[in-house]
Amino acid sequence: MRKLFGTDGIRGVAGKEISADLAFRLGNAIAQIVLEDGIKDLMVAKDTRVSCDMLEAAVSSGAASGGMNVKCCSIMPTPALAKVTDINHSAGVMISASHNSFEYNGLKVIKDGFKLPDAEEEEIENIILTGSIKAQTHHELGRITHYPEARGLYLRWIYKHFDDLDLSSFPCENGTKQLHIVFDASNGASYSITPEVYRTLGAKVTVINDNPDGYNINLNCGSQHTQTLADTVLELNADIGIAHDGDADRCILIDETGREVDGDKIMAITANYYKETERLANNLVIATVMSNLGFEKYITERGMKLLRTRVGDRYVLEEMKRKEAMIGGEQSGHIIYFDRNTTGDGLITSLTVLETMNHFQKRLSALINDIPRFPQVLKNIHIRDKEKIMEAAELSDALDRARDILKNTGRILVRPSGTEPLIRIMIEGNNEEQITQLANELLATVEGLNA
């Protein structure tokens, strides 16, 4: 069982679980692993957290001491770093805790555009935990340099795939208009690059939460806190609201009426677009066990098939590769369009939705109106020992009782978070009052075990 890596890299409180010493050891361990594959360069990028500079210096020093040349890409989204490592046949470390608040940070390891497989993560973890540092002699040390070209590489990739998308002349009821986008940057890694792309493609852009100070990343903003975005869309009579999380691999939307559009609905409408344009390989979409049954009903009725995986974008991607699927993702807005990037990409997701609106010549509200949504209740609780609680007989008994009451009218999922000290409870069914009561009873059981 892995002790450091979760479903999305190593994550914890900066200066505590995520220390400079850990970052140094990680950089050195990466050098020991990937140099054997002929990879000599390590790209390092970061989001806007106050702890990122410290961790950037440490992981870079560790890799350089192990003989790798380190190229510091500065602040950029995780998917941008993934694409740069893909283009350059290199490894990468993204310093970010994604949607978490500023006190957390994380270290995500990438190679040739993909997160490392479990086996390589375990190998790196073993090197870190056993203290097996390998420092090269003076003439074999790596160099650490700045790499501003990374931004341009990613932007050229984006424009290559969306060069036909004209946001200055967008279809509307009375002909065409300049699309007005409200963008919530979450005070994170996309605060500069994403608005630039929208404007270059011709949109009018109003940006909110684009003044990062090291402490305000994801603070009541971004993909997990969309009320201000919705209010701004309505106030300005804008056409669409777009929100990313701290490292911009997620995308949540607001339609022109102020309604939130989650990852399930985004996958539904873009899968329909891909199918109509004959790009949906095997008519298949990959989602997780968290995705709503209404989403599954929508795509099934349109001749597509949904396959589910355990929660985590790495597991979605693995299944996409196995089944040769083109679209996969999570309700949280982490969506992969495999013909365009190797990981979830908030910018690509939003641009694909805009393409979909353009193709069907419909507003976002009209596109999502036909997608049913089964009542779903989600509960999260902070806990001390995830494994102990998940193995408790009391929780098992409570789950049996809840499933007996629900029978075949819905689904129950209780799972530990792979990125936070949380247990997540999800119940879905036809009767919202019933599933809310069942979720509260399960929550009380977990709280009792955590007391």
Residues 98 and 191 in one domain: no
Examine the domain organization and report whether 296 and 341 are in the same domain: yes
Tell me, what's the pLDDT at 1? Answer: 61
pLDDT on residue 384 = 81
270 and 250 housed in the same domain: no
Paired with 223 in beta bridges are: none
Domain end among 124, 151, 178: 151
- For the record, the structure tokens of 79 come out as 């998917």
Give the domain extent around 302. Answer: 262-373
- The CA distance from 247 to 407, in Å, is 40
Which pLDDT score is estimated for 408?
A: 78
Per-residue pLDDT tens over the stretch 225-280: 999 999 999 999 999 999 999 999 999 999 999 999 999 999 999 999 999 999 99
Do 314 and 395 share a domain, yes or no?
no
Distance CA 283, CA 281 (A): 5
DSSP count for the chain of H helices, then E strands: 15, 22
Q: Do residues 64 and 140 both lie within one domain? A: yes
* 3-class state of residue 393 by DSSP: helix
Tell me if 358 sits within 8 A of 170, measured CB to CB. yes
Separation between Cα atoms, residue 80 and residue 326, nearest integer Å: 19
Residues 6 or more apart from 332 whose CB is under 8 A from it? 99, 223, 250, 252, 262, 263, 290
Q: Which of 373, 400, 432 is the last residue of a domain?
A: 373
Kindly provide the b/e burial profile for residues 408-418, where b requires at least 16 CB atoms within 10 angstroms of the residue's own CB.
Answer: eebbbbbbbbb
CA distance 257 to 370: 15
Burial group, residue 352, by CB count within 10 angstroms (0-12, 13-18, 19+)? buried
pLDDT per position as a tens digit, 342-355: 999 999 999 999 99
**158 lies in a domain?**
no
Given 343, 373, 403, the domain boundary residue is 373
Residue 195 domain flag: yes
Instruction: Evaluate whether residue 157 is within a structural domain.
Output: no
Do 254 and 358 share a domain, yes or no?
no
In a domain, 221, yes or no: yes
Is 178 within the bounds of a domain? Answer: yes
Residue 64 and residue 133: Cα distance in Å, rounded?
A: 12
Residue 49: closest CA among 6, 9, 95: 95
Q: Which of 51, 90, 96, 98 is catalytic?
A: 98
Same domain, 275 and 213: no
Q: What is the pLDDT of residue 113?
A: 94
Are both 325 and 381 inside the same structural domain?
no
Q: Which of 65, 69, 47 is nearest to 56 (CA)?
A: 47
Residues 142 and 25 grouped into a single domain: yes
Question: What CATH number is given to the structural domain containing 381?
Answer: 3.30.310.50
Task: Confirm whether 163 is domain-assigned.
Answer: no
User: Quick one: 386 exposed, middle or buried, by C-beta within 10 A (0-12, 13-18, 19+)?
Assistant: middle
Do residue 66 and residue 125 come from a single domain? Answer: yes
Q: Are residues 33 and 144 in the same domain?
A: yes
* Residue 369: Cβ-neighbour burial (10 angstroms; 0-12, 13-18, 19+): exposed
- Residue 313's pLDDT is 86
DSSP code of residue 7:
B
pLDDT in the model for residue 410: 83
Q: What is d(CA 70, CA 52) in angstroms, rounded to the nearest whole number? A: 16
Backbone φ, ψ for residue 329 (5° rounding): 170, -165
CATH code for position 173: 3.40.120.10
Structure tokens at 128: 């870190």
Count of domains forming the chain: 4
**Per 3-state DSSP, what percentage of the chain is helix, strand, and coil (rounded to 5)?**
40, 25, 35
Residues 251 and 279 in one domain: no
Tokens 């777009």 map to which residue?
A: 242
| Residue 133: predicted pLDDT | 86
**Tens-digit pLDDT string for the chain (451 aa):** 668 888 789 999 999 999 999 999 999 999 999 998 899 999 999 999 999 999 999 999 999 999 999 999 999 999 999 999 999 999 999 999 999 999 999 999 999 999 888 888 999 999 999 988 888 878 889 999 999 999 999 999 999 999 999 999 988 777 789 999 999 999 999 999 999 999 999 999 999 999 999 999 999 999 999 999 999 999 999 999 999 999 999 999 999 999 999 999 999 999 999 999 999 999 999 999 889 989 999 999 999 999 999 888 889 999 999 999 999 999 999 999 999 999 999 999 999 999 999 999 999 999 999 999 888 898 988 888 888 888 889 989 889 998 988 887 788 889 888 777 889 998 988 888 999 999 999 999 988 888 7
Residue at 160 is within a domain: no
Q: Using CA atoms, how far apart are residues 45 and 171, in angstroms rounded to an integer?
A: 37
pLDDT score of 411: 87
Q: Is 98 a catalytic residue?
A: yes
pTM above 0.85, yes or no: yes
Taking CB atoms within 8 Å and a gap of at least 24, the contacts of 382-390 are 382/421, 382/422, 383/421, 383/422, 383/423, 383/446, 383/450, 384/421, 384/450, 386/416, 386/417, 386/421, 386/422, 386/423, 387/416, 388/449, 389/423, 389/446, 389/449, 389/450, 390/414, 390/415, 390/416, 390/423
